[in-house]
Chain A
Amino acid sequence: MSKNTEFVKFDKVDKSYDGKVLVVKDLNLNISEGEFITMLGPSGSGKTTCLMMLAGFETPTNGEIYLDSNPISNIPPHKRGIGMVFQNYALFPHMTVYENLAFPLRVRKVQKDEIDKKVDKALSMVSLSGFESRMPAQLSGGQQQRVAVARALVFDPAVVLMDEPLGALDKNLRESMQYEIKHIHENIGVTVVYVTHDQGEALTMSNRIAVFNDGKVQQLSSPDKLYEEPVNSFVAEFIGENNTFGGEVTDISKDVCKVKLQNGEILANPVSVNSKGDKTTVSIRPERALINPKDKMDNNQTGKIEEVIYHGDHTRVRLDLLGNKEFILKVPNSSNQLDLKLGNEIKVGWNSQDARALDPK
């Protein structure tokens, strides 16, 4: 069975609430069948609006959304057959776990024994068998979350939407739930559209991530590509940590360019600069800059240690380097400790490939 790569398709979708400001601008997005796609972005970036349009609680101002090639803008939410997990779980507080899970099946007039079977299966999937007769208020946050996931999946929807479902959980529980949801997705192969503002969550769980900002998808790619090859300075800034230098391109060839900074000059990878004189922001991941490099590096600079913060598995070092006082280095915790003292001068090197010259901020 070949997978439909346009299982869910946003086609030139605009959305405005007040007729003045577009919260979603000209959105084109294809989601293939069985994919786990995450919409990631700061609050107000339009990601939840997109989810609500897909669920049917908002209508697009312009454009059309297709589900399995059928336009769905005029189909009310209850006929779309899309499961949804809400931010605050939205379990029905007056129903038991069983009744909560049976609700989508009962409204579909499924036979009683069939309902029992499906509820059983869904509960064992989230390892909550035996909790049928509990009320939601008798469950912990994590258990409520799992019931919500089971309820969204119990009627075998084609697509499941999750709107920041782990936001209310504590850190440890959130992490274990991330893996659990990921495993459920892998086991049953349902298409998942997941909304979050937590990049760690997005990177762990997704097949692809759509980074939203200002109503637009800034970049849509797999987690590793997104982290290592951000296409613009917003994505570079938003995903992971990032050291930046503002400057001007003075020389450019195919895969290297020279960028003149306020006090100094570095070699960088021209990602979104084309010609001499372009303004640019150069972005370097902290872990790509090495202290006292043994191999030959394209860029070798000396910086002064401004701050040292111990993080257990690594130590963060803040340097004053080429006029940037916020240059962060991550030094792994190893047995041969370096002499990291405030005020010391330190040698730092990185390759031009890892210094990405992006659009200016």
Chain B
Amino acid sequence: MSSETKQILTTDGIPLEISLKKAERKNKIKAFLLVAPLLLFLIITYIFPIGEMFTRSIDDKMITNMLPKTFKSMETWDGKELPSEEVFTSFLSDFKILVEKKEHGKLAQRLNKEKNGFNTITKKLFRQVKRNKIDETQSIKEQIMKVHKRWRNVEYWQAIKRTAPPYTSAKYLKAMDMYLNEDNKITQVSEDRRIHRILWLRTVEVAFFVTVFCFLMGYPIAHLLATLPMKYSNLLMICVLLPFWTSLLVRTASWMILLQQQGVVNDFFVLIGLVSDDNRPEMMYNKVGTYVAMTQILLPFMVLPLYSVMKTISPSLMRAGKSLGGTPFVAFWKVYFPLTIPGIGAGCLLVFILAIGYYITPALVGGASGTLISNQIAYHMKTTLDWSFASAMGLMLLGGVLVIYWLYNKLVGVDNIKLG
């Protein structure tokens, strides 16, 4: 080959290949420096918090650090009979350190979460330790077992052993209405306490139908926008974008005014005789309100990608379809519609992902039957302060979105998305 036998040199004698690579490397570094601020921003504001959320959701290190000796000595325990003297001794020494640091309350709280009843017996043990009632020269096992009969129950020691690993999946199981039972098996909570699964299903259901409604309403609007003459389409575009320029709260509040039982819509229904005055339908504080308000709020996210795709479709294609003998419907279905699929994909994905994590609107108009998983997350963030549980649910939501994205990629192909 000629390129191998004769190397091309630059004027200063360096092979051209090498000096080209050098020049390109410089360009690459420059390009990287240009995007570096954004990358840094993303790492700080996105990747780092999500990583933090993840560790928080599975973190169970607190108790691991509280009882280091206990867990060490428990490693050899088979968990069937009561543990040996050694375990009791190390537990007591761990406990004394906690008492000194005044952290025994935290331990009680954590253990009580694992199994009810720990609160009382930990307090009793604390009193004994405080009064120096425990004689270290004698069998510590015997003395602790005398403090309370539960200390003689192997189930409580099993519970302590379960808390040993520094990481736990308990929060994720809880979000699915499940927990790890005594035998380390995943079990469902009793039927009357299964609230999260309903919320998850409802969230997916609401997001799905909101997406469908947005599509059904947005498609004709986008088509009209793309085909009307400029002066009308600009006006219509402003109408579509107007909700964007209004505060989300204001829009939601205005829906509350419209939809309440003495509200405008109900008044109108009574006026035209659709319903009787004393039988006004409830359209708010339930799913109906959530559907109506969310569809209106998310509609622009459907219209804009559709519009940008439709704008590029030449009107002569529909004409060609008709002149070749297709009825208007055939021309639409075989020619126009397939060409809008990238826009449909983008719009649906966008609306679905936004809807699945929607918070303010369902909180205000949703009522009890219209709240979604995001409201539950907010509740745990603000009210119960169980941040690790909120983190776990947030991550599950994120995972769900990623799964949908992956599915979409399999079905339609991400490179088919057109956002504008």
Which residues of chain A have a CB within 8 Å of any CB of chain B? 55-57, 76-84, 86-88, 90-94, 103-104, 107-108, 151-152, 155
Contact of B319 among A90, A107, A108, A152 (CB under 8 A): A90
Contacts of A77 in B (CB 8 A): 319, 322-323
Known contacts A57-B323, A78-B325, A88-B316; 14 additional CB pairs below 8 A are A55-B323, A56-B322, A57-B319, A76-B328, A77-B323, A81-B325, A86-B316, A90-B317, A103-B321, A104-B326, A107-B326, A107-B327, A108-B325, A152-B324
Distance, CA A93 to CA B342, complexed state (A):
13
Contact of B323 among A78, A88, A94, A108 (CB under 8 A): A78
Contacts of B335 in A (CB 8 A): 92
Task: Flag if A92 contacts B328 (CB, 8 Å).
Answer: no
Closest 6 CB pairs of A and B: A104-B324, A90-B320, A84-B323, A90-B316, A77-B322, A86-B316
Distance, CA A358 to CA B200, complexed state (A):
86
Distance, CA A87 to CA B315, complexed state (A):
12
Contacts of B13 in A (CB 8 A): none
Chain B CB count within 10 A is highest, among A55, A82, A90, A155, for A90
Which residue of B is nearest A163, CB measured? B316
Describe B's contact surface by its main secondary structure: helix
B378 at the interface (CB under 8 A from A): no
B338 at the interface (CB under 8 A from A): yes
Contacts of A103 in B (CB 8 A): 321, 324, 326, 334
B330 at the interface (CB under 8 A from A): yes
Of the A-B pairs whose beta carbons lie under 8 Å apart in the complex, a sample of 11, sorted by A's number, is A55-B319, A57-B323, A76-B322, A76-B328, A77-B319, A78-B322, A78-B327, A78-B330, A80-B323, A84-B324, A94-B339
Q: How far is the CB of B115 from chain A (nearest CB, A)?
A: 62
Task: Flag if B330 contacts A107 (CB, 8 Å).
Answer: yes
Contacts of A56 in B (CB 8 A): 322-323
Q: How far is the CB of B240 from chain A (nearest CB, A)?
A: 27
Task: Flag if B339 contacts A151 (CB, 8 Å).
Answer: no
Q: How far is the CB of B338 from chain A (nearest CB, A)?
A: 5
Which residue of B is nearest A55, CB measured? B323
Distance, CA A90 to CA B317, complexed state (A):
5
Distance, CA A327 to CA B34, complexed state (A):
63
**Contact flag A84-B339 (CB < 8 Å), given A90-B314, A108-B325, A155-B325:** no
Work out how many contacts link A and B, with CB atoms closer than 8 A.
Answer: 67
Which residue of B is nearest A87, CB measured? B316
Contacts of B334 in A (CB 8 A): 103
Which residue of B is nearest A101, CB measured? B324
Chain A CB count within 10 A is highest, among B316, B328, B339, for B316
Task: Flag if A83 contacts B319 (CB, 8 Å).
Answer: no
Q: Which bracket fits the contact residues of B? A: 10 to 19
Task: Flag if B323 contacts A92 (CB, 8 Å).
Answer: no
Task: Flag if B326 contacts A82 (CB, 8 Å).
Answer: no
Interface string of B301-325 (1 = CB under 8 A from A): 0000000000000101101111111
Contacts of B328 in A (CB 8 A): 76, 78
Q: How far is the CB of B419 from chain A (nearest CB, A)?
A: 19
Contacts of A92 in B (CB 8 A): 317, 320-321, 335
Contacts of B322 in A (CB 8 A): 56-57, 76-78
Which residue of B is nearest A154, CB measured? B324
Contacts of A91 in B (CB 8 A): 320
Contacts of B316 in A (CB 8 A): 86-88, 90
Task: Flag if B324 contacts A83 (CB, 8 Å).
Answer: yes
**Contact flag A93-B320 (CB < 8 Å), given A88-B314, A104-B325, A155-B325:** no
**Contact flag A107-B324 (CB < 8 Å), given A86-B316, A90-B316:** yes
Contacts of B320 in A (CB 8 A): 84, 86, 90-92
Chain B CB count within 10 A is highest, among A56, A79, A92, for A92
Contacts of A78 in B (CB 8 A): 322-328, 330-331
Contacts of B317 in A (CB 8 A): 90, 92
Task: Flag if A86 contacts B325 (CB, 8 Å).
Answer: no
Which residue of A is nearest B319, CB measured? A57
Contacts of B330 in A (CB 8 A): 78, 107
Distance, CA A91 to CA B331, complexed state (A):
13
Q: How far is the CB of B390 from chain A (nearest CB, A)?
A: 45
Distance, CA A210 to CA B321, complexed state (A):
28
Distance, CA A57 to CA B318, complexed state (A):
11
Chain A CB count within 10 A is highest, among B324, B328, B330, for B324
Distance, CA A82 to CA B320, complexed state (A):
11
Task: Flag if A94 contacts B314 (CB, 8 Å).
Answer: no
**Contact flag A93-B339 (CB < 8 Å), given A78-B325, A155-B325:** yes
Contacts of A82 in B (CB 8 A): 323
Contacts of B321 in A (CB 8 A): 92, 103
Interface string of B46-87 (1 = CB under 8 A from A): 000000000000000000000000000000000000000000
Q: How far is the CB of B293 from chain A (nearest CB, A)?
A: 36
Distance, CA A94 to CA B321, complexed state (A):
13
Contacts of B339 in A (CB 8 A): 93-94
**Contact flag A107-B325 (CB < 8 Å), given A92-B335, A94-B339:** yes
Chain A CB count within 10 A is highest, among B319, B323, B328, B330, for B323
Distance, CA A88 to CA B317, complexed state (A):
10
Interface string of B159-182 (1 = CB under 8 A from A): 000000000000000000000000
Q: How far is the CB of A137 from chain B (nearest CB, A)?
A: 13
Distance, CA A79 to CA B330, complexed state (A):
13
